Amino acid sequence: MSVKPGLDDDFATVHAIINTYFFGLYQGDSAQLRDIFHPSAMLKAPGNYRTLTRWLEDVDNRPTPESLGQPFNFRILSIEIIQDQAMVKLECPLFDFFYIDYLGLLKEQGRWLIVNKMYTDIASKPAKGEA
């Protein structure tokens, strides 16, 4: 991941938001997650669109990876920042799933927030060439 001059603060802020996202998922902390998402954010997977409120309810009503003793194996694959927008690609292994997340962030009124989440479970998909 490379950072252009002048973007150090934005990069550090986006990186911190992603770490908050990882720990919020791992610990099932919906308040922590709510703080880093824009209220109108949508969470989208093929065939599954949810509002932020609905997703946070789901987070509250499931066991946490931490309580199940699952390893903390989240990983940032890339961060790209262009002015007041950022796109982040992540590996998010949760429960029996292996999600690839794309998080879109915007900086508005001096604050970075996640405005969109798209994700898919690659653990359930056959590898290329398999059928």
pLDDT in tens, 44-78: 999 999 999 999 999 999 999 999 999 999 999 99
> Who contacts 87 (Cβ-Cβ below 8 Å, separation ≥6)?
78, 79, 80, 102, 103, 104, 105
pLDDT at position 29: 98
Domains and CATH numbers, the chain: 8-63+72-121 (3.10.450.50)
Nearest Cα residue to 13 out of 102, 117, 105: 105
Q: What residue type is assigned to position 9 of the chain?
A: D
pLDDT at position 25: 98
* Overall pTM > 0.85: yes
pLDDT tens digits for range 95-120: 999 999 999 999 999 999 999 999 99
Tokens for 55, please give them.
Answer: 């997703």
Q: How many CA atoms lie within 13 A of 73 on its CB side?
A: 12
Task: Spell 26-49 as b/e; 16+ CB within 10 A means b.
Answer: bbbbbeebbebbbeebbbeeeeee
9-18: average pLDDT: 97
